[in-house]
Amino acid sequence: MNVKEIVHGTDDKLKKAMDFINRNFAEVRTGRANPSIVEGLHVDYYGTPTMLKQLASISVPDAHMLMIQPWDPTAIPEIEKAILKSNLGITPSNDGKAIRLAVPSLSKERREEMVKIVHKMAEDGRVSLRTIRHEAKAHLEKMEKDKAVTEDDKFRGLDEVQKLVEKYSAKVEEILKSKEKEVLEF
């Protein structure tokens, strides 16, 4: 294994961490309807936990309404149960063919709570990026100790890994600012 492979592997790990961070941010409920807040809910569909997005189409008819149209109308009661069990704080209503979720505006206190949650999520994301950097650094140092790479190559690799981590950290900051703005909007 050489320095380029380690840097490339680190980049792959950082991309996967960013995908996870993006999914977590997408699930944060703001005062606006967004399909991602319910897509990941698990519904007990004929005894099998199934993700809601696999059972129904989820649309946003307006800024404060989500509409869930199951492909199998017999799944409506189970979908309603899953929504009620979740911590969304939204009560579903159905007409026998579709489920509507009215997404209420958040109170000022709840918005401030959500901002704190979003900041914690961003910090957790930055910690995971630093952990990946630490693993790459340890691997490069071990390779130098084992005489598999030169000291210059090790430092070049560490520099490349640091640049990658800074790039992804900047993306986390962008997502944080965007989500914070979205949460604080009325």
**For position 30, what pLDDT does the model report?**
72
**For position 158, what pLDDT does the model report?**
94
Fold match, 3-27+107-184 / 36-102: no
Taking the chain (186 residues) in consecutive chunks of 10 residues, what is each chunk's mean pLDDT? 90 94 80 81 90 92 91 92 84 91 84 89 95 95 92 93 96 93 79
pTM of the complete model? 0.71
Domain boundaries defined on the chain: 3-27+107-184, 36-102
Q: What's the rounded Cα separation, in Å, for the pair 115 and 35? A: 20
Residues 6+ apart with CB under 8 A from 126: 169, 172
In terms of CATH architecture, what is 3-27+107-184?
A: Orthogonal Bundle (1.10)
Pick the CATH number of 36-102 from 3.30.950.10, 2.120.10.10, 3.30.1360.40, 1.10.3720.10: 3.30.1360.40
Distances (CA, A) of 76 to 4, 24, 45, 168, 186: 52, 26, 10, 40, 31
Distances (CA, A) of 95 to 12, 45, 69, 106: 46, 20, 10, 26
Please name every residue paired with 56 in a beta bridge, in sequence order, or none if there are none: 70
**For position 39, what pLDDT does the model report?**
84
CB 72 within 8 A of CB 43: no
Structure tokens, 128: 């995971």
**For position 184, what pLDDT does the model report?**
83
